[in-house]
Amino acid sequence: MLYTILEIILVFVAVALVIFILLQQGKGADAGAAFGSGASGTVFGAGGSANFLSHATAILATLFFILALAMAYLSHHVTATPQSIVERAAQQQAANTQSVAPQIPVAVKTSPAASKPKPTGNPAPVQPPGH
């Protein structure tokens, strides 16, 4: 649950970070402002927007890295619980097979005296039944 919330916040921070980076003016835009492109008439003033956007970008980048590290820490230290039905069934089957002791047949050793003696010589003829 906490991981999901952090994941959603991370996506919003990433989108805001991209927007703030794209809103910033490059180095070449300053020359255009010097020739009267109207940058001094903006909401933040001539140099105020660059200062605000750079500070906001730095804060969002720091927040992005902190969230990413926190999520990496949580994903490493969270116990692995099965999320899908297949994973749950596999875990339950593994638990069932571990609880049942395997049945291994035990070979009984017999002494040579107890074993059937081998016939020596010619065996007695077998008569058919009913004679």
pLDDT of residue 12: 97
Q: What is the pLDDT of residues 32-60, one digit of tens each?
A: 555 655 555 555 555 556 788 899 999 99
Mean pLDDT, residues 14-21 taken together: 94
pTM across the whole model: 0.47
Q: What is the pLDDT of residues 64-105, one digit of tens each?
A: 999 999 999 988 775 566 667 887 788 888 888 776 555 666
For residue 50, give the nearest of 64, 33, 66 by alpha carbon: 33
- For the cut 80, the answer to whether the pLDDT of residue 21 exceeds it is yes
Asked if 4 and 41 count as a contact pair (C-beta separation under 8 A), the reply is no
Contact residues for 61 (Cβ-Cβ < 8 A; gap 6+): 17
The helix (H) or strand (E) run that includes residue 98 is: helix 85-99
pLDDT of residue 36: 58
For residue 53, give the nearest of 19, 27, 30, 29 by alpha carbon: 19
* SS3 assignment for 13-54: HHHHHHHHHHHCCCCCHHHHHHCCCCHHHCCCCCCHHHHHHH
